[in-house]
Structure 1
């Protein structure tokens, strides 16, 4: 069973691996939506995305991004 739109944290982890160094706050929602749909593990309706779900993914990814960049600066 693959990822669903509601699995923001799990999707964010994979996106962080696939797009290292990219600040997710700089990503457009249209790009973010396509990146999620393109994941091999994604198994949900293409039409199931909403702005709220994309924002949840973006914010979860941003938390990972902040953690990774804090580690790099030490």
Structure 2
């Protein structure tokens, strides 16, 4: 499956499964950006992962954990 920045929920689910020890409430965006780029199947322009997209991923990840 190919992931793009627009796949916010799918990215959040992948991160939740791969990083169960991480509390996304305390994650900085630099690290989050890097982790998204490292996901298998992620294929999008790294420059498109701006603050609003990262905030949406973080919020979805928090919701996924609860």
Indicate the TM-score class for this superposition, using the shorter chain for normalisation: over 0.9
The one of the two structures with greater contact order (alpha-carbon pairs below 8 A, sep at least 6) is 2
- 1:63-74 matches, within 5 Å, as 63-66=63-66
- The 1-side partners of 2:27 and 2:65 are apart by 13
TM-score of the two chains, using structure 1 as the length reference: 0.84
Q: Do structure 1's residue 13 and structure 2's residue 46 form an aligned pair?
A: no
Q: Could you tell me which runs of 5 or more consecutive residues in structure 2 were left unpaired when the two chains were aligned.
A: none
Deviation at 1:30, TM superposition (A): 0.3
Q: Do structure 1's residue 27 and structure 2's residue 27 form an aligned pair?
A: yes
TM-score of the two chains, using structure 2 as the length reference: 0.93
Count, aligned residues: 66
Q: Could you tell me which runs of 5 or more consecutive residues in structure 1 were left unpaired when the two chains were aligned.
A: 67-74
- The 2-side partners of 1:22 and 1:58 are apart by 11
Please identify runs of 4+ aligned residues in structure 1 that moved more than 6 A: none
Which has the higher Rg, Structure 1 or Structure 2? 1
